[in-house]
Amino acid sequence: MTMGNGAPISKPTADPRFAALPAPPGKIVAVHLSYESRAAQRGHKPAAPSYFFKPTSSVAASGSDIERPTGTELLAFEGEIALVIGTPARHVSIEDAWSHVAWITAANDWGLYDLRGNDKGSNVRNKGRDGYTPLGPGLIDARGIDPAALRVRTWHNGQLVQHDTTAGLIFPIAQFVADLSQHFTLETGDIILTGTPAGSSVARPGDEVEVEVDAPGAAGAPTSGRLVTRVVEGFTTFDPMLGSLPSVDDRHREEAWGSRTAASLPGTEPPPSALSPALRAKLLTAPVAGLSQALRKRGLDNVSIDGVHSLCPGAKLVGTAKTLRFVPNREDLFRSHGGGHNAQKRAFDAVAPGEVIVIEARGERGSGTLGDILALRAKARNAAGIVTDGGVRDSTTVANIGIPVFTQGGHPAVLGRKHVPWEVDVAIACGGATVLPGDVIVGDDDGVIVIPATLAEEVADAALAQESEDAWVAEQVAAGHPVDGLFPMNAEWRERYTTAHGDAKG
């Protein structure tokens, strides 16, 4: 038997499941989230690698069938690069880590999302089933391979759906070896699955999925060959007397398919918005000070969200409100409402394109009301921005994510110090202003205001007209005219302005 580049390897075990390997692995370690493209799709980026184990009994050879159990729907493929350890690694440096990798091959880290919620992150049942880790069909000699120049591609029924390289990893691939070796010995034959890029999705019985890993820039362009897996309908059932049963919700469907659109979920299309492209363009031009003045002339003076400032001076915020309410922390309420897919996470998972998440934190800045992960989620959902009258954790990182965020300021404490996430899409009080879902939110360096959706067009036009008038007045003052009678304009100056404005239009 030879590797993908023709180099010989030791004779494999007689067990056909391990046909591509030099020997059955002692352990299989998989990385949770490792590619920038996948992190952007999921809306959060890890600060450090995290892992889970897969049993050796899950290994399968190329050409194998994979079973989707009766009554389940979300069997998802994940094309990955697999590393096979050649020499034991314990407390190795990142510089030395790659030398402990002997071979590289293709893997498909199958998972059954119907069991994912019950696993609570361990992935024992949803990824540990027999046949859920096909590997092969060939091995690439790691010697002389640039670990930053490996490529992984996945085809679903002949269509290319995943295509990325190790240059797109959040962490260098050798870091996985070095990091894991801090905690236990990586032994000869152990396998590390290095995570999947964007494009993972659901396969159904009758589908065929192929994965290939190669090094196109290396001499001879070595390749693993195509790892083929066919999905079949299973006939096994789950005994409710032994453990929890499969269950799914729309969040699982969205994550398994890769998007709400792919999962054909309701709400795929953005909801109707009070902001047409033309109105949004007007509000992006109109200053908050001018909009505030126009609202005051219409009898609305209590529309400012006080005390908040942009994390990025110069940012402009325009969108419709999606509201989130926190109540003061009470230990029993935080135990019942603070964990799981709580109101805070639901708001960030459901925010629609063009919406602004507006958070009522009662002006309490002594705790964070969001951090970088939730800000990433909002950006991935194409939210227009975030406004909170509380604090923000990881404020420097949040500021660099590229979504407008207005806040009382930074604070390192987590949510449970001062707040309980309580409810979404209700009337709230943020910075002293009442905000209803669907209200128009506009912010700039002067602050943030709330505009009733029915007044937004009228107020925008009035603010832009006032802005034009103020610019003309400023020109007259700059030319040496006194402000008396000019600001505000008396009848004489009004006539001059009207004449000049009319001439400019003509």
Give the CA distances from residue 192 to residues 31, 186, 303, 320, in Å, rounded to whole numbers and listed in that order: 8, 9, 55, 45
277-457 matches 23-234 in CATH topology: no
Count helices and strands (H / E) in the chain.
Answer: 14, 28
Classify burial at 392, counting beta carbons within 10 Å of its beta carbon; exposed 0-12, middle 13-18, buried 19 or more: buried
Residue 210 confidence (pLDDT) above 90: yes
Tokens 């007044």 appear where? Answer: 455
pLDDT of residue 421: 92
Q: Which fold has domain 23-234?
A: Fumarylacetoacetate hydrolase; domain 2 (3.90.850)
pLDDT of residue 3: 44
Spatial distance between the Cα atoms of 106 and 56, rounded to a whole number of angstroms: 16
Averaged pLDDT for residues 412-428: 88
Residue 339 confidence (pLDDT) above 80: no
Q: Amino acid letter at 86?
A: G
pLDDT in tens, 145-173: 999 999 999 999 999 999 999 999 999 99
pLDDT of residue 84: 98
With cut-offs at 50, 70 and 90, classify the pLDDT of residue 2: very low
Return mean pLDDT, the chain: 89
Residue 160 or residue 119, greater confidence: 160
Q: Would you say 459 and 296 are in contact if contact means Cβ atoms under 8 Å apart?
A: no
Residue 11 or residue 129, greater confidence: 129
Averaged pLDDT for residues 397-404: 93
- Count CA atoms closer than 13 A to 207's CA, side-chain side: 17
pLDDT of residue 7: 42
How crowded is residue 360: how many other Cβ atoms within 10 Å of its Cβ? Answer: 26
Averaged pLDDT for residues 220-224: 95
Residue closest to 51 by CA, chosen among 197, 187, 199, 193: 193
Q: What is the pTM of this model?
A: 0.56
pLDDT of residue 504: 43
CATH architecture of 277-457: 3-Layer(bba) Sandwich (3.50)
pLDDT in tens, 238-275: 888 888 888 888 888 888 998 887 888 776 444 455 68
Least confident of 321-325, 364-368, 432-436, 470-474: 470-474
pLDDT in tens, 4-24: 443 445 444 579 999 999 999
- Highest mean pLDDT pick, 14-23, 66-75, 174-183, 214-223: 174-183
Spatial distance between the Cα atoms of 174 and 387, rounded to a whole number of angstroms: 40
- Pairing assessment for the beta strands 433-435 and 440-444 based on DSSP bridges: unpaired
The string over 191-219, giving b where at least 16 C-beta atoms fall within 10 Å of a residue's C-beta and e elsewhere, is: bbbbbbbbbbbbbeeebebbbbbbbeebe
- 3-state class of 62 per DSSP? coil
pLDDT of residue 469: 77
With cut-offs at 50, 70 and 90, classify the pLDDT of residue 473: confident
Domain ranges in the chain are 23-234, 277-457, 466-505
